[in-house]
Amino acid sequence: MLTPDALLMRLSEMSGFQMAAWRGMMMGTVMILGWALSTRTHRGDLAVLRTRSGLAIVICQVFNSTLFCLGIAVAPVAVVLLGVAAVPVFAACLAWLIIGEPTHKTTWAAMAAVLFGIGLAVSGEGEGLALDGAALLGALFGLGVALVLALNFVILRARPHIPIPLAIGCGAWIAGLISLAIVGPGALSQGQYIYMIVTGGIVLPVSFFCLSLASRYTHAANVSLLMLLETVLGPLWVWLGTGEAPTARMLWGGAIVVISLALYLMVTGQRTKRARAVAQR
């Protein structure tokens, strides 16, 4: 669900804060409405939201929503996504520091393979990534997104009682309101806003709810590893939507990422089955 996001952002022809305003308010509205209609513990959820962990998730979403849009607006998409690719490394380190969750050696091996594949995919053929001011700024924005996403996954892993739709929805709304205050209401009608409605109303709520929910059932590093599929599949969606053909290195790098993740999931699944079998004896 998340992989077409970069294409929709590109098609919108909007600035960073314009996109952040649309995406934040649309995503926040959908998530909060979904929470209001589905939960039976409104007061309890609101109380949890006011805890340090709940507020931390809200703050993470504010920075995630804003930094990603700003990065895409000022730098090449490949540079930003390369920064975001650090999510599993941050997740593994934060999980160890915050909740003492060890990271298996196969996870580190998968991280190395995936990062190599992503680096190959975004390097281009004879194009390279120019280290100018815009590229460096985009890389910093991407790393910022990676850090707050990893922290989001780790906190939800440690505090499974946090109401995900409410916390993420509030964070998205705050990011949207801040961006709206910066650009003004008139800027929302500029550009192809239909794409922002699709990504903010459908793509982001579904994908981030699933990613956050998954962090309750498996290690944060595992969730963030799967999220890296966006780095590889995103350019393919752009190719289909805009005609920008991927380079050979993108295809080879994408193949490395997909195969590495597939092998990792197979090994992890077999290890889990063996552990369950031992526990049942």
Q: Could you give the dihedral angle defined by the CA atoms of residues 8, 9, 12 and 15, in that order, rounded to the nearest 10 degrees?
A: 170
- N residues, the chain: 281
- Distance CA(100)–CA(242), nearest Å, equals 45
Residue 181 class from Cβ within 10 Å (0-12 exposed, 13-18 middle, 19+ buried)?
exposed
123 three-class SS: helix
- Residue 126 pLDDT > 70: no
- Residue 152: burial class (beta carbons within 10 Å; 0-12, 13-18, 19+): buried
Q: Which domain holds residue 55?
A: 5-280
d(CA 153, CA 57): 9
Distance of CA 233 to the CA centre of its chain: 13
Please give the radius of gyration of the chain, using alpha carbons only, rounded to the nearest integer. 19
The pTM of the whole model exceeds 0.85: no
Number of domains in the chain: 1
Q: What is the rounded average pLDDT for all residues in the chain?
A: 84
Residue 183: the pLDDT is 94
pLDDT in tens, 219-265: 776 787 777 777 778 777 877 887 766 667 767 877 787 788 778 87
Tens digits of per-residue pLDDT, 78-106? 777 777 877 887 888 888 888 887 778 88
For the record, the structure tokens of 120 come out as 């190959």
Predicted confidence band at 132 (pLDDT cuts at 50, 70, 90)? low
pLDDT in tens, 146-193: 899 999 989 988 888 999 899 999 999 999 999 999 999 998 888 898
